[in-house]
Each structure stands twice: as structure tokens, then as C-alpha cells.
Structure 1
Amino acid sequence: MFKKWITRIAITCAVGVGIIAGTGSAALAGDTWLILSDIDGRQVGAMQHVDDGDSFRVYDSLKDGYSVEGCLQTYTPRTGWVTLRCKNNDSGAGTYESFSYDVITGLIYRMRLCHALVPCAYQGFNE
């Protein structure tokens, strides 16, 4: 009799831990950052995917008279990388421009960040 109760308690605890672990896995998803630096290592811009709400922010980090352009791209086997949406930050250093795009689970995405004096940088991510 005692052995049955111990078994039932163990199974109940295991199921409870499984439920908590399963619901907690969505919290592991986080924001994705892409930092663009010049040849001297100075940050000229950044792009952030804010996972909560699927918004994208394009930051201009350097007061140099040039804007920073951030784009969201997805990969399709037939055509390769396809640009879905872009935002140019010409508001000045220390600011960001944002846009929203509903990122779908199961697709491959990447952020592209470009500056006039620095080659573009890329950062892949998925939902």
C-alpha cells in the first residue's frame, strides 16, 4: 500500500515538472541583436529584434552624417534571401527607428544592417 502511494506521488511530481518545463520553454526566446562596427571597432549602428511583439529597431550609433539601414529578410529555397521590410534611420546618432513584422515559426530569417562606409552585417534568427 505504501509503495503505491510513493509511486503515485512520484508520477504526479514528474508530470508537474514536465508541465512547468514545457510552458517555460517559450520564455527562453529572447531578443536578437546585430551590431555593426567600423574598421576601428567603433559601433556605427545596431539592429534589434524585440521578440515580444515582433518589432525591429534600427539604431544609429555614430554621429558621422550617414544613415543606417536595417532590413528583415527570409530564406526561400527557390529564390534565396528575400527582403521583407527595411527601415532607414536618418534621425541622427543616439536614436532608433522601428517597424513591425509578424515573424512566423518555422521560417529562417536574418537581419541585415548597412552603413555607407562599412560593409553590411547579417544576423540569422528564427522564431
Structure 2
Amino acid sequence: MDEWIVRVLVAFVFTVIGWLAGHRLALGRDKRKEYNDAIEPIRNILLSNRVVSELIVTEIDVKLGKRAHKILKVYRESYKPLIDKASSLCGSDDYGQYGPLKAHKDEYEFIWTEAKKRMLEVCKHK
């Protein structure tokens, strides 16, 4: 009789441990999926060579809370100043087309690539 009780208790304990481990892993998977879904708009904008607005970054901060503070910090301290610097190298050419001036095209491309790279580093899929 004692052996039967021990077997039932061991089975019960391992069932509870398995349930807790599975639950914890499922929560981690859900958080990862939520994070990836939230950063997807920024990644799409960056990969299509468009400028990310602060509104999009703020929306992500609202959705993710503490997990998005790093993205917001990189946006404000690194990405935005670089984009502003790249924009200062733009102007109208002889045909009225707005874009990087020929004299600054290489510097513009370098700054744009660096800004994009920094944002993509913090917006990696998990």
C-alpha cells in the first residue's frame, strides 16, 4: 500500500512540474510572438528604405512597455539625429528633384545606412 501511495505522489509531483514548465514556455512563446508582431512595422519601413516616424516607435512603446524602451532610446539618441543629419545633406538639384546633393551623396548613403543598421539591431526578431 505504501508503495502505491509513493508512486501516485511521484506521478502527481511530476505532472505538476511538467504543467508548470509547459506553462512557462508557452508564456515565453506568446511574449516573443507579441514582440515580433509589434516590431514588424518598423522592420518593414526600414527594409523598404523609408524613414521611421516617432509615432510608430511610440505606438510600439505603448504596446510593449518596458521591452520597448531600448528601441525608443536608440531611436531618440542615435537614429533620429543621424536621419536629421542626412536630411541636411539633401536639397533640390537643377531639375527641381529633392534628394541628396551630388557633392554629399556618399556621406548621405553612409549616414542613412548607419542609422538603418542601428535601428535594425534593436528591432531583431526574437
Q: Determine if the TM-score, normalized by the shorter chain, exceeds 0.5.
A: no
Q: TM-score, normalised by structure 2?
A: 0.38
Q: Over alpha carbons, which structure has the higher Rg?
A: 2
Greater relative contact order, per chain length (Cα 8 Å cut-off, separation 6+)? 2
- Structure having the higher strand fraction is 1
Q: TM-score, normalised by structure 1?
A: 0.38
- Structure having the higher helix fraction is 2
